[in-house]
Structure 1
Amino acid sequence: MLKVKGLLKDYKNVRAVNDISFDLEEGDIVGLLGPNGAGKSTTIKTIAGLLRATYGDVTINGHKNTSVDAKSNFSYIPEMPELYEMLTVWEHIKFIAYAYKVSNWEEKAEKLLRRYDMWDRKDKLSKELSKGMKQKVSICCGLLPDPGLYLFDEPMIGLDPKAIRETKIIFKELSERGKTIFVSTHLLDSIENLCKRVLVMKSGTIIADESVDNLKKKLGNNTDVSLEDVFLEVTKDE
């Protein structure tokens, strides 16, 4: 579903992403982990075509990531919701439905908004919403087109506990339907039981790409080891 080969991204004299390669298959839920400044958001934005790669190839379902065919087959949910202040919640959903040519979108939109306790706020302008509510709208807009690939950048930040649980349930449902989820997050406990595989970045480079179980085994095969323990061990300075 997603192939990244030899991806580099430079900002003037700074190399934010340094020659990374990986593949994601249908049904995968893969976590992208790393300390601040590791290159996680840059990687996701470059995959989404929001940033131009300095070098390398990114394909989505066999199509170059900047093509219309690729863009119609993925959703990008940013860390900071980008909403139009003078559009209502429902107008945002409608805009996405028309842009992606989603059929029978009203019923699906209502179900999504109800799952995130936003149905009673569907007529509110986005400027009247809290950060968490905006994040819920952003997630609903990303889920509506039902693409093959979902790119989530810190989706849990700002969400209340119920919304976090609902998002985790939705991740599992999507995976069971063969959808691919690539999620960057600092909230390791929120994805520990979701991701069977994680990519760990540091200084623009992937320093680990393995199943969570394999990484835990490298720390002594201790069943009490958490994903946080794994992350801190992998990313510690030698």
Structure 2
Amino acid sequence: MIKVDDLTKEYHKVLAVNNMSFQVEDGQIAILLGPNGAGKSTTIKCITGLLRYKGSIEIEGYENKTVDAKRVFSYVPETPSLYDMLTVYEHLEYIASAYNVKNYEEKVDLLLKRFELEDKKYKLGKELSKGMQQKVSICCGLLTNPKVILFDEPMIGLDPKAIKELKKVFLELKENGCSVIISTHIIDSIDEIWDKAIIINKGNIVIQTTRDELDKKKESLEEIFFEVTEG
């Protein structure tokens, strides 16, 4: 589970995130939505420990910047950041070593096969297309068997087959009790898999809702999104 309480972040007296609170339960897929400049990127950077902030963020009961929290947390950024001179396989070996993942070889092979990277395993990071780099980044995020995982625009640059496979991964993570957060602009891309939606605008959460709540009201997520962000 990830729990965010009273998260506030200012940049030179500009309030980017205002007293934001939400949580994502074990086995739940939450999507973080908002127009450009809403505060999504700042929220993500706070969760990942890249920014100082006011408030509290706990991952599986641990303060998010602690080693204990980082052991059970994975982050797949919007823009992949691979090492130019490491091969695809070496990236995964590095992550396995950093997180002390034992007997990782079989899982690495399965991930490479699943995302059609088998023939790229000895390619250097700098030799890969953006889509291939994104696949490697996803594989690295999954290798550690996280309890909480955050995906930032994970489908950008992926081919249709990889997108289909990634959606299966989201559901498998859910079934395994993982807390999944997906930040995206493309509502249609995740319309069939989300459990909870957190919509933010101008640094504030303007609505939190679940699929069941919207189904009862016979409203679509897209309708709600435009209603609360555009009035």
Could you tell me the TM-score, scaled by structure 1's length? 0.94
**Distance of 2:188 and 2:160 partners within structure 1:** 12
Contact 1:28 1:180 in 2 (8 A): yes
Whole-Å separation in 2 of the counterparts to 1:24 and 1:196? 10
Matched, 1:15 2:9: no
Contact 2:78 2:152 survives alignment (8 Å):
yes
Inter-partner Cα distance in structure 2 for 1:119 and 1:31: 31
Alpha-carbon contact 2:199-2:206 (below 8 Å) kept: yes
SS in structure 2 of the partner of residue 111 of structure 1: helix
1:194 is matched with which residue? 193
2:224 is aligned with 1:236: no
Q: In the alignment, does 2:37 pair up with 1:43? A: no
Task: State whether residues 214 and 220 of structure 2, in contact with CA within 8 Å, keep that contact through their aligned partners in structure 1.
Answer: no
Paired position in structure 1 for 2:125: 126
Number of positions where the alignment pairs a residue of Structure 1 with one of Structure 2: 231
Is 1:62 aligned to 2:61, yes or no? Answer: yes
Q: Aligned to 2:182, what secondary structure does the other structure show?
A: strand
Aligned to 2:30: 30
Residue 114 of structure 1 and its aligned partner are, at CA, apart by: 0.8
Q: Which residue of 1 aligns with 2:136?
A: 137
Quote the sequence identity (%): 56
Match of 1:168 in 2: 167
List runs of 5+ in structure 2 lacking aligned partners.
none
Deviation (angstroms), 1:214: 2.2
- The one-letter code of the counterpart of 2:20 is I
2:177 corresponds to:
178
Q: Contact 2:32/2:198 (CA < 8 Å) preserved in 1?
A: yes
Q: Residue 11 of structure 1: CA displacement?
A: 1.3
Residue 99 of structure 2 corresponds to residue 100 of structure 1: yes
**Which residue identity is paired with 1:7?**
L
2:34–2:229: 8 Å Cα contact kept in structure 1?
yes
The amino acid across from 1:133 in the alignment is: M
Q: Which position in structure 2 is the counterpart of 1:227? A: 221
Deviates more, 1:228-237 or 1:63-72: 228-237
Q: Which residue of 2 aligns with 1:117?
A: 116
Does the 8 Å CA contact 1:189/1:227 hold for their aligned counterparts?
no
Contact 1:216 1:230 in 2 (8 A): no
List structure 1 segments (4+ residues) > 2 angstroms apart after TM superposition.
Answer: 212-218, 225-230
Which stretch has the larger CA shift, 35-44 or 199-208? 35-44
> 1:3 touches 1:23 (CA, 8 Å); kept in 2?
yes
Quick one: distance in 1 between partners of 2:44 and 2:170?
A: 18
- What residue number does 1:152 align with? 151
